[in-house]
Structure 1
Amino acid sequence: MEYTGLIRKYPINRFLTDQERERQLRRGERLDVEPAYQLSMIRMSSTYVELVDKFFEWKGFLTAFAIVVAVMFVAGISAMGVSSIIDGSIHEFWPHLVGMFLVLVVPILFVAQWMFRKDAFTYTHYPIRLNRKTRMVHVFRVDGTVLSVPWGDVFFCIGSLPQSNYEIQGHVLDTDGKTVRETFSFCDIAGSWKESESLKHYWEFVRRYMEDVDLGPIHVHARYVLPIANKRESFMQGWDRSLSMFGALPFPLKLGLLAIYVVTYPGRWIAMTTSKLPVWPEEVEATCLIEPGDPYVRDARDNPVGLR
Structure 2
Amino acid sequence: MIDINGRNPFAKFTYREVNQKLDKTFGMGLGGRVQELKDFKWLDKKQGYDVPLYPQRTVVQFNSTYMELTGRQDRIRGDVTFGSIFFLTIISIGIYYTTASVLLDISKGNTYAIAYVGVITVLLILMAIYLLALLSTELFTYTYLPIRFNRKTRKVYVRQANRKVEVFDWDELKFYMATTYKDGGDVRGITLADDGMTITGMFSLPFVSDLTAKEILGGTQLKQHFELVRRYMEGDDEQLIEVKNAIRYIHPVHKKRETPLVSFQRATLAALDSDENMEYPKQALRLHWTHLAVIIQLWLRYLGRLLSINTSITPKFSPEIEAESQIDTNDPHDLNKHLPEGNIEEANQPIWKKLVVSVALILFGIVMLFAFAFFVDMIGSIRGHHPDFFGRLWYLFSFNWLF
Place the TM-score, normalised by the shorter chain, in its bin: 0.7 to 0.9
Alignment correspondent of 1:137: 156
Question: Structure 1, residues 49-71: CA drift from partner, whole Å, max 9, x if none?
Answer: 00011111111111111111111
- SS at 1:285's partner residue? helix
Residues in 2 aligned to 1:21 and 1:300: alpha-carbon distance in whole angstroms: 41
Change in CA separation of 1:307 and 1:66 when aligned onto 2, cut-off 3 Å: farther
Question: Structure 1, residues 124-148: CA drift from partner, whole Å, max 9, x if none?
Answer: 1111000111111111111222111
Change in CA separation of 1:167 and 1:125 when aligned onto 2, cut-off 3 Å: same
Match among 232, 245, 253 for residue 209 of structure 1: 232
Residues in 2 aligned to 1:157 and 1:11: alpha-carbon distance in whole angstroms: 14
Match among 262, 285, 288 for residue 251 of structure 1: 288
Change in CA separation of 1:142 and 1:202 when aligned onto 2, cut-off 3 Å: same
Q: Which stretch of structure 1 is more off in the superposition, 171-180 or 181-190?
A: 171-180
Matched, 1:6 2:6: yes
Change in CA separation of 1:178 and 1:82 when aligned onto 2, cut-off 3 Å: closer
Question: Structure 1, residues 126-177: CA drift from partner, whole Å, max 9, x if none?
Answer: 1100011111111111122211122110011112323383210000111233
Instruction: Say if 2:176 and 2:189, in contact at 8 Å, map to a contact too.
Output: yes
Aligned CA-pair RMSD: 3.1
Matched, 1:230 2:266: no
Question: Within 5 A, what are the aligned runs for 1:1-308?
Answer: 3-8=3-8, 9=19, 10-17=28-35, 23-78=41-96, 91-92=107-108, 95=114, 99=118, 102-163=121-182, 165-191=184-210, 192-196=212-216, 197=219, 198-213=221-236, 214=238, 215-245=240-270, 246=272, 247=284, 251-299=288-336, 302=339, 303-304=343-344
* Length, aligned pairs only: 305
Deviation at 1:15, TM superposition (A): 2.5
Alignment correspondent of 2:393: none
Instruction: Say if 1:43 and 1:300, in contact at 8 Å, map to a contact too.
Output: no
The percentage of aligned residue pairs carrying the same residue is: 25
TM-score w.r.t. length of structure 1: 0.87
Residues in 2 aligned to 1:106 and 1:292: alpha-carbon distance in whole angstroms: 55
Structure 2: 5+ residue runs without aligned partners? 9-18, 20-27, 273-283, 349-403
In terms of fraction of residues, the more helix-rich structure is: 2
Question: Structure 1, residues 166-216: CA drift from partner, whole Å, max 9, x if none?
Answer: 210000111233221011000111232233212000011001111111121
Deviation at 1:112, TM superposition (A): 1.4
Q: Which stretch of structure 1 is more off in the superposition, 88-97 or 147-156?
A: 88-97
- Amino acid in the other structure paired with 1:201: Q
Which has the bigger relative contact order, CA under 8 A and spacing at least 6? Answer: 1
In terms of fraction of residues, the more strand-rich structure is: 1
Residues in 1 aligned to 2:294 and 2:62: alpha-carbon distance in whole angstroms: 32
Change in CA separation of 1:163 and 1:252 when aligned onto 2, cut-off 3 Å: farther
Change in CA separation of 1:188 and 1:97 when aligned onto 2, cut-off 3 Å: same
Q: Which stretch of structure 1 is more off in the superposition, 11-20 or 33-42?
A: 11-20
Residues in 1 aligned to 2:115 and 2:194: alpha-carbon distance in whole angstroms: 59
Alignment correspondent of 2:386: none
Please tell me whether Structure 1 or Structure 2 has the larger radius of gyration of its CA atoms.
2
TM-score w.r.t. length of structure 2: 0.68
